[in-house]
């Protein structure tokens, strides 16, 4: 059952009451001397001048510099009527503006309510998935305990025969370096650096013969030298 439209009933009541209220205000304004002279009469004459100039412009006639003024009584009646219509129009305009703002706020509240519902559904779905994972872990643990206690009645399945990746130690990854690899050693590098060439003369060849002796000491006779 929908809610009773009190707001619409209130707006309708305000529109209906605006006409008698405007009539009452118009009567008070007419009876007030200052308001009657400075507001109602001037408003009536200005409205009459605008109306006459608009008619002359639509008929393509010459616009006079000054229009003939109307009587105070006619200007008072015209100004009072304009005042009453302005009051009715103002009340209706305020009601329309308030209704538009109310509908906009209602639409925003509806969008926020839908967004909150979707967010609640997503949160509940995540909680259900988390509970499902925990329950599956409990089931696997209890199944493994039953197979250990009674292996003949509960044979291991293919999932149990596979090693659990969570129990295996994690091997550290080899260190990576951004520097280029070093060249492999070759035979030339192993042999060492080549001897540098020098300008010194080679040493004289050595001989097994003894050095020559003086004439006073003749050398002993040898057959090798």
Q: Within a domain: residue 44?
A: yes
Residue 31: is it exposed, middle or buried by C-beta count within 10 angstroms (0-12/13-18/19+)?
exposed
| Token representation of residue 51 | 């109306």
Q: Within a domain: residue 146?
A: no
Q: Within a domain: residue 36?
A: yes
- Residue 162 — very low, low, confident or very high, per pLDDT cuts 50/70/90? low
Residue 225 pLDDT: 42
Q: Where is pLDDT greater, at 130 or 70?
A: 130
Q: Within a domain: residue 214?
A: no
Residue 84 has pLDDT above 90, yes or no: no
Q: Are 96 and 12 in contact (CB under 8 A)?
A: no
Give the chain's largest Cα–Cα span.
179
Q: Within a domain: residue 177?
A: no
The Cα–Cα gap between 30 and 133 comes to: 84
Q: Are 22 and 83 in contact (CB under 8 A)?
A: yes
- Residue 205 — very low, low, confident or very high, per pLDDT cuts 50/70/90? low
Place of tokens 């706020």: 105
**% of the chain exceeding 90 in pLDDT:** 12
The Cα–Cα gap between 51 and 65 comes to: 15
- 125-146 pLDDT tens trace: 999 999 999 999 999 999 888 8
pTM equals 0.45
Q: Within a domain: residue 24?
A: yes
Structural domain for 39, as ranges: 6-121
Q: Within a domain: residue 222?
A: no
Mean pLDDT to the nearest integer, 178-201: 50
Residue 178 has pLDDT above 70, yes or no: no
> How many domains would you assign to the chain?
1
Q: Within a domain: residue 72?
A: yes
The Cα–Cα gap between 215 and 222 comes to: 17
């Amino acid at each position: 059952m929908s809610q009773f439209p009190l707001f619409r009933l209130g707006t309708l009541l305000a529109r209906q009451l605006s006409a008698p209220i405007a009539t009452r205000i118009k009567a008070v304004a007419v009876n007030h001397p200052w308001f009657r002279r400075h507001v109602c009469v001037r408003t009536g004459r200005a409205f009459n001048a605008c109306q006459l100039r608009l008619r002359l412009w639509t008929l393509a006639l010459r616009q006079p510099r000054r229009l003939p003024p109307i009587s105070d009584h006619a200007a008072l009646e015209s100004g009072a009527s304009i005042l009453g219509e302005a009051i009715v129009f103002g009340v209706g305009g305020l009601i329309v503006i308030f209704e538009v703002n109310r509908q906009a706020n209602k639409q925003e509240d509806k969008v926020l309510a839908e967004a909150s519902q979707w967010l609640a559904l997503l949160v509940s779905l995540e909680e259900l998935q988390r509970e499902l994972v925990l329950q599956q872990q409990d089931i696997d643990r209890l199944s493994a305990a039953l197979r250990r206690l009674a292996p003949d009645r509960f044979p291991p399945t293919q999932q149990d025969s596979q090693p659990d990746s969570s129990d295996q130690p994690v091997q550290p990854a080899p260190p990576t370096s951004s520097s280029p690899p070093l060249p492999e050693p070759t035979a030339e590098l192993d042999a060492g650096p080549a001897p540098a060439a020098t300008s010194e003369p080679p040493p004289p060849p050595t001989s097994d013969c003894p050095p020559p002796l003086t004439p006073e000491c003749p050398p002993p006779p040898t057959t090798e030298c």
